[in-house]
Amino acid sequence: MKIPVLELFPAKSKLMSLAVVFCCLLLLFPAPARAEVWHQSNGNSQDVNPPLVGPVYDLGGGGTDVDRAIQWAIDQVRGCQDCSKTVDLVVLRFLTDEDQEAWDRSKKQPDIKNDYLKYHSLLLDPQQRLQGLDSIETYVFTNPARQEAEQPQIAQAIEKAEVVFLAGGDQCKYARNFKGTAIEAAIESVQARGGAIGGTSAGAMIQGEWIFNACSDAVISDDALADPYEDILFTDNLFQWRALKGTIVDTHFYQDDRMGRAMAFVARLLRDGITPRALAIGIDEGTSLVINQQGMAQVMANERDGSAYLILGDHQPEVCERNKPLSFSNYRVWRVRNGQTFDLKNIPATDYYQVSVKRGRISSSNPYRG
């Protein structure tokens, strides 16, 4: 029996029949949504290109940004405070999930001005203005964006910056879209020149040697401890910052009770043979961990009790298998409070407390006690 489509059209109309079939396929399998990049620039359009004395880093824990940590990064790379040297700042970010869905569904334009340009107030708002800023540029990407991440004009704008800041959102979007692209290389060139690299929430989580990428799903501590393999996937070396070698970064730490999942991350890295020693860095909301050229980290927080937590695993877990709860004895934990420092190059042998996990439960009633 002949194929029905060929019977519906005479032989001389085969091209027409193929066109109809093609149109039907387009209806069944529509083309992916067109990617887009929105760009806003304020300040001096001329490249200032001052000599830099970094690199330095600003890792924000999410929530309200710590503006003085951003000011610290600016001052560190320009090598002075209250001086005439200025720097250019580039901010990179993705659409929120809600705006992305609206864009995919109907090409609804996001409200870029009101929802994505908050860092421009650091230049434009007299009440928030930071010293030493010459210009701010923000690039907002749809997802996926690998093709856009190869655009020469975007990479060149990043390369000319002295400070690059990656906003919060979804670390999977950063890992999938930026790794191995011109944007990654451009960010690395800023760091190599002695610039500052910052980020908050997801933008901070992508700075460690290993990244919990959340590409499978989000994971809470109870689930990670119950099965340290369920939905826990890693991306390694999106960036290769020497100061953060051997680390995995987590954010919203105390507020979202992420101690357990950070411990699961460390256990996995050890059990899978990725490293014999892993340091998780957990940062509270409204808190930044800034790292200077010598690898000395300091906590800056908006509130007095804002802290960072350093969780070290340097031996094999007793149990770390699929579909089994985690058991791991004697993690070493340092709580670094607002204003305190921690030497990432020479991890101290004192001032830590020990926390264990047994059959998926943390032994301490308060592992954040410090």
**48 shares a domain with 9:** no
- Give 102-154 pLDDT, tens digit per residue: 999 999 999 999 999 999 999 999 999 999 999 999 999 999 999 999 999 99
State the total domains in the chain: 2
Cα separation, 243 vs 217, in Å, equals 29
Q: Which of 2-6, 113-117, 146-150, 179-183 has the lowest mean pLDDT?
A: 2-6
8-state DSSP, 55: -
**13 shares a domain with 88:** no
Q: In whole angstroms, how far apart are CA 282 and each of 69, 256, 313?
A: 17, 11, 14
Q: What is the amino acid identity at position 263? A: M
**19 shares a domain with 145:** no
**235 shares a domain with 163:** yes
**277 shares a domain with 152:** yes
Cα separation, 16 vs 202, in Å, equals 50
* Domain encompassing residue 166: 38-362
**115 shares a domain with 14:** no
Residue 170 three-state SS: coil
Lookup: tokens for 289:
């961990």
Q: What is the amino acid identity at position 364? A: S
Residue 150 three-state SS: helix
CATH label of the domain that carries residue 272: 3.40.50.880
Residue written as tokens 């809470």? 220
Residue 59 three-state SS: strand
- Give 304-335 pLDDT, tens digit per residue: 999 999 999 999 999 999 999 999 999 999 99
**212 shares a domain with 163:** yes
**50 shares a domain with 17:** no
- Cα four-point dihedral sign 297, 302, 306, 309: negative
Residue 48 lies in a domain: yes
Size of the chain, expressed as the number of residues it contains? 370
Residues 290/251/257/317 CA torsion (nearest 10 deg): -90
Q: Is 180 left (phi over 0), alpha (psi -120 to 50) or beta?
A: left
Predicted pLDDT of residue 31? 47
Predicted pLDDT of residue 18? 47
Under 8 Å CB-to-CB from 316, ≥6 apart: which residues?
Answer: 270, 271
8-state DSSP, 238: S
Cα separation, 237 vs 150, in Å, equals 19
Contact 165, 91 (CB under 8 A): yes
- Following DSSP, what letter does each residue of 157-209 receive, concatenated? HHHT-SEEEE-SS-HHHHHHHHTTSHHHHHHHHHHHTT-EEEEETHHHHTTSS
Cα separation, 213 vs 192, in Å, equals 25
**158 shares a domain with 15:** no
Instruction: Provide the whole-model pTM.
Output: 0.90
Under 8 Å CB-to-CB from 8, ≥6 apart: which residues?
Answer: 17
**45 shares a domain with 18:** no
Phi and psi angles of residue 234, each rounded to the nearest 5 degrees, phi first: -115, 145
**26 shares a domain with 136:** no
| CA-based nearest residue to 168, from 63, 258, 89, 57 | 63
* Residue 35 pLDDT level (bands cut at 50, 70, 90): confident
Residue 56 lies in a domain: yes
Q: What is the amino acid identity at position 22? A: F
Residue 368 lies in a domain: no
* Residue 10 pLDDT level (bands cut at 50, 70, 90): very low
Predicted pLDDT of residue 279? 99
